[in-house]
Amino acid sequence: AQSSVTVYGLLDMYMQYGKGDGTQTQIQSGGPQGSRLGFKGTEELGNGLKALFQLEMGINADTGASGQGGLAFGRQAYVGLSSNELGTLTLGRQYTPQFVTVDSYDAFATGTGSVAASGVVSAIARANNAVVYASPSLSGFTFTGMASLGESSTAGQKSFGNLYSASVNYAAGPFSAALSTILQKRSATTGEDAKYALVSSAYDFGTLKLYGLYQIVRNQGTVEANDRREAMFGVNVPVSAQGTVAGALGGSRISGVDGGSASQFSLGYLHNLSKRTRVYAIASRINNSSAATYTTTSATGDGPVNTVGGQDVKALMLGVRHAF
Amino acid sequence: AQSSVTVYGLLDMYMQYGKGDGTQTQIQSGGPQGSRLGFKGTEELGNGLKALFQLEMGINADTGASGQGGLAFGRQAYVGLSSNELGTLTLGRQYTPQFVTVDSYDAFATGTGSVAASGVVSAIARANNAVVYASPSLSGFTFTGMASLGESSTAGQKSFGNLYSASVNYAAGPFSAALSTILQKRSATTGEDAKYALVSSAYDFGTLKLYGLYQIVRNQGTVEANDRREAMFGVNVPVSAQGTVAGALGGSRISGVDGGSASQFSLGYLHNLSKRTRVYAIASRINNSSAATYTTTSATGDGPVNTVGGQDVKALMLGVRHAF
Amino acid sequence: AQSSVTVYGLLDMYMQYGKGDGTQTQIQSGGPQGSRLGFKGTEELGNGLKALFQLEMGINADTGASGQGGLAFGRQAYVGLSSNELGTLTLGRQYTPQFVTVDSYDAFATGTGSVAASGVVSAIARANNAVVYASPSLSGFTFTGMASLGESSTAGQKSFGNLYSASVNYAAGPFSAALSTILQKRSATTGEDAKYALVSSAYDFGTLKLYGLYQIVRNQGTVEANDRREAMFGVNVPVSAQGTVAGALGGSRISGVDGGSASQFSLGYLHNLSKRTRVYAIASRINNSSAATYTTTSATGDGPVNTVGGQDVKALMLGVRHAF
């Protein structure tokens, strides 16, 4: 009884046999893709102008809770206007351009097995109170910029909590490449700003697609930390009409902190039963240096429990994803 | 794949340049209308009888949270039966008749810029455990009554937390007028009951529509306070096929509390890009007496931070609303 | 604008005149059926195989909150694959086979008035991190088995928090019968496992349908308690094309705890205004032994407040249910 809204989503559930602090069997939500329920739509306004919106809830289907710490629409919530010539302007809770770039150049698309999902490669997924501008494609180039406001009213601290992110992407046939950056203003008076800068590229040979990404990070996330250099490489190989093999290798090197570095290797096979339904098997291994405690993770943030520095993590995931 | 439920909603987001404790730039959800996602439907049962329901979630699209303090369907959640001849009886979480009346006689419809949204004019929006009866129109008169139960089982305190509200509305061509009241039983043994009584009227001249409302309040909301006398006046002027100018002026006078009074003036322009999509600019100013700390507010309850008594507040809002 | 997902639900609201600690009038959500909003779908994959999913939110429509303690989809959240020949395998938050069996052999279907809703007959409704296998019907027999994982990684405690449940159902014309069981591993080191075992049967004479259920319980729910023997009997009588009378009688006997036993009697009339809309009146009475504090309850967990051991509870409920 309604034509202006599309209800959509997907459920992705898997069994995981993992080893961290100990061996562990888990039923998890959100493997290659986070389980979600969404509502979206567009309206043509004439003259190449349209209105658009999207509301997307993350779902921890293993427990019935909503994801992203219990938010109603923690994945995305925005509204905006789009012009064929001028680009798209949206307001709300949105993905950072940096995260979208990492996701696009990740053979595991920031899902389970991804070097970025485990945090070995750093990304800030979403930001509140955000304005995002996305340009139309200009000779293969697209630009995306975000300003997310901390909304401080305190004198001398007006920019605290603000986050800025931008990316430039270039695509020409099988080749694509991107530059992306984040500047996150500290909300505390003493902390230094977090800064991310990455370069990435991909090439689709038809028989396989290769991905590479290199990132320099200062004061990662919301805590003041030492410099990090991160890299990840990936490959997607279509092995049949229905099946794809994915592989990824990545690592981070932290200067100034002894034993904070880690590396990860993942291999997966995804088999499409239909366009909407897929089964998969993914194996991932993280080698933690003496002080690192990275673990593979689901979209709900649960992986094999790993609290002891230097302990390696292994995980085998068998699952199903159904989109609707 | 479903004909008995309508999925609907709207997203309303704006940028705000405000001044309260300090200057502040904000991205907010819920300007002229609160962002929402809803599910509703009716079923004809024959003989002029029908069943109806509505579930409506408030959305803070700037953060992805659900509104009204995190409720799944904090705006409305009710089911009921309706008869053409006998009227409509509904049970659930519902708007009070007093709020519906204030909303109907407010040039800003209790959205951003509204004298009632800031609290200068008092309203109690919703009540839990509520039965609402709405009469059919009788010679232009309609009656609505609500009983909301506190559900106390303690002897001598059975009515504590109960809320009663009623309104009578009269409409005849361009003229309409209403009386409305609230009686809120205190849940504590010592407090006195809160009582609201208002009279309002509107006249649509075609070239403009005028609104006026006057209310007497004792022990406003949930705290025992002194008497208040509140008034608000508004005008809507259609200036083109797509554009409307709205203006409002209102104030409250508190007896017995020094410096608790305040006044507010708002001016806005709303421009329809289509029936469903609108852009708008609204400016509002509140003059607080020495002890008052009112601020303009969004549907999420966030306005310019204002904590110092007597400080005036200014806000300029630029936004977009898309209904679906 | 979407054919692969069905939006459905129901709202069930009622007024209750109850007596527990004192007399009490309440507006409640979830009488004979819990109020809910759901999203579900199936996809044919060919060769008798299909994918299926369901997301179902419980709604406390009296307050607008989501049910099951605030979960987004606290009733059900699962995805799976189904084969005509091999059966159905689903992963997520799901009903236990024991609860489904109790529900099927309860004249009040675990709604208000049900001996199982009040807890006099024990049931564990749902489990997280669950794999459920449901067989196809084999000569009238169907088997359902669940393993719900506690996901512990602690050595020697790997099974803590696990829950296993299974049921076998037999149906032949008007006759049906079931066996069902639960084994719940304690999550604490000292507690003993909870064990449930039940046998149930029903016969549909056409003019009425009779139900019976008998259950032995050790260490009920999540606390270590003494042995319980529980029984409930019910009848559904179609008295007209639109009306059904329901009756239920049940009780529990606890060995080793003085005064922990209770019995309940319920009588209801449900009248269909249409296939989707129903009004109803239900009366229920619980006789508590000296230490028991059972109360009749809604799907939101609210009944007449009853905190004094040995106090009997009476409730009369008048309501409406509308499905969509």
- Domain limits of chain A? 25-323
| Burial of residue A173, with CB atoms counted within 10 A of its CB: 0-12 exposed, 13-18 middle, 19 or more buried | exposed
Task: Give the tens place of pLDDT for each residue, A122-138.
Answer: 999 999 999 999 999 99
Residues of A within 8 A of B33 (CB-CB) are none
Residues of C within 8 A of A27 (CB-CB) are 91-92, 129-131, 149, 151
Mean of the per-residue pLDDT values of chain A:
94
Residues of A within 8 A of C130 (CB-CB) are 27
- Quote the pLDDT of residue C122: 95
- Nearest by CB to residue B63, choosing from A1, A43, A93, is A93
Rounded to 5 degrees, φ, ψ at A171 are -135, 130
CB contact under 8 A, B45 and C273: yes
Task: Give the tens place of pLDDT for each residue, A151-192.
Answer: 888 888 888 899 999 999 999 999 999 999 999 998 766 678
Size of interface A-B (CB pairs under 8 A): 138
CB-based contact B64:A74 (threshold 8 Å): yes
Chain A: nearest CA to C324, how far in angstroms?
A: 12
DSSP state, B240?
S
Task: Give the tens place of pLDDT for each residue, A237-284.
Answer: 999 999 999 999 999 999 877 889 999 999 999 999 999 999 999 999
Give C71's Cβ-side CA count (13 Å radius). Answer: 23
- In chain C, alpha helices (H): 67-70, 97-104
Has domain C24-323 been given CATH number 3.40.50.300?
no
Candidates A5, A277, A308: best to mutate against C (most CBs of C within 10 A) is: A277
Percent of chain B with pLDDT over 70: 97
- Nearest by CB to residue C153, choosing from A4, A13, A24, is A24
Show which subunits contact B, needing at least 3 CB pairs below 8 angstroms. A, C
- Nearest by CB to residue C322, choosing from B79, B93, B158, is B79
pLDDT interval class at C302 (50, 70, 90): confident
Cα separation, B174 vs A125, in Å, equals: 53
- Quote the pLDDT of residue C188: 65
Task: Give the tens place of pLDDT for each residue, C15-70.
Answer: 999 999 999 999 999 999 999 999 999 999 999 999 999 999 999 999 999 999 99
CB contact under 8 A, C320 and B152: no
Chain B: nearest CA to C229, how far in angstroms?
A: 32
- Quote the pLDDT of residue B167: 98
For domain A25-323, which architecture applies? Beta Barrel (2.40)
Nearest residue in chain C measured CA to CA from A4: C1
- Nearest by CB to residue B37, choosing from A55, A71, A128, is A55
- Nearest by CB to residue B155, choosing from C7, C15, C22, is C22
Question: Locate tokens 């803070």: which residue?
Answer: B60
CB contact under 8 A, B51 and C276: yes
Residues of B within 8 A of A129 (CB-CB) are 26-28, 62-63
Percent of chain A with pLDDT over 70: 97
Longest Cα pair distance anywhere in chain C, in angstroms? 61
Interface of C with A (CB under 8 A): 1-2, 4-5, 7, 39, 41, 43, 45, 49, 51-53, 55, 68, 70-81, 91-93, 126, 128-131, 149, 151-155, 158
| β-bridge partners, C279 | C271, C320
- Quote the pLDDT of residue B188: 66
Name every residue whose Cβ is closer than 8 Å to that of residue A195 and which is 6 or more positions away in sequence.
A181, A182, A183, A184, A217, A218, A219
- Judged against a pLDDT cut of 60, whether residue A1 lies above it is answered with no
Bin A272: left if φ > 0, else alpha if -120 < ψ < 50, else beta: beta
Nearest residue in chain C measured CA to CA from B47: C273
> Which residue type sits at C196?
Y
Size of interface B-C (CB pairs under 8 A): 139
CB contact under 8 A, C61 and B55: yes
Candidates C36, C47, C79, C162: best to mutate against A (most CBs of A within 10 A) is: C79
> Which residue type sits at C250?
G
Chain C: nearest CA to A79, how far in angstroms?
A: 19
- Judged against a pLDDT cut of 60, whether residue C170 lies above it is answered with yes
Q: For residue A81, which of A55, A100, A53, A56 has the smallest C-alpha distance?
A: A53
Nearest residue in chain A measured CA to CA from B6: A1
CB contact under 8 A, B149 and C27: yes
CB-based contact C286:C114 (threshold 8 Å): no
Candidates A25, A53, A302: best to mutate against C (most CBs of C within 10 A) is: A25
Cα separation, B94 vs A165, in Å, equals: 42
How much is the average pLDDT of C237-258? 94
Cα separation, C264 vs C307, in Å, equals: 17
Cα separation, B319 vs B62, in Å, equals: 13
- Judged against a pLDDT cut of 50, whether residue A288 lies above it is answered with yes
- Nearest by CB to residue B24, choosing from A7, A92, A151, is A151
- Nearest by CB to residue B22, choosing from A70, A80, A155, is A155
Candidates C5, C53, C81, C148: best to mutate against A (most CBs of A within 10 A) is: C53
Cα separation, A302 vs A299, in Å, equals: 8
> Which residue type sits at B287?
N
Q: Is the ipTM of this complex over 0.90?
A: yes
Q: For residue B91, which of B128, B43, B45 has the smallest C-alpha distance?
A: B128
Strands (E), chain C: 6-19, 23-29, 36-46, 49-60, 65-66, 76-83, 87-95, 126-134, 141-148, 163-172, 175-184, 194-204, 209-218, 228-238, 243-254, 262-272, 277-288, 313-323
CB contact under 8 A, A91 and B24: no
Name every residue whose Cβ is closer than 8 Å to that of residue A9 and which is 6 or more positions away in sequence.
A35, A36, A37, A38, A59, A323, A324, C5, C39, C55
Highest CATH level, class, for B15-323: mainly beta
CB contact under 8 A, B129 and C15: no
- Quote the pLDDT of residue A154: 84
Chain B: nearest CA to C219, how far in angstroms?
A: 32
Strands B6-19 and B36-46 turn out to be antiparallel
Residues of B within 8 A of C273 (CB-CB) are 45, 49, 51, 81
> Which residue type sits at C279?
V
> Which residue type sits at A191?
G
- Quote the pLDDT of residue A2: 45
Chain A: nearest CA to C151, how far in angstroms?
A: 5
Question: Locate tokens 């607080």: which residue?
Answer: B288
Cα separation, B49 vs B66, in Å, equals: 34
CB-based contact B306:B295 (threshold 8 Å): yes
- Quote the pLDDT of residue C1: 40
Low-confidence ranges of chain B (pLDDT < 70): 1-3, 188-190, 223
Task: Give the tens place of pLDDT for each residue, C79-99.
Answer: 999 999 999 999 999 999 999
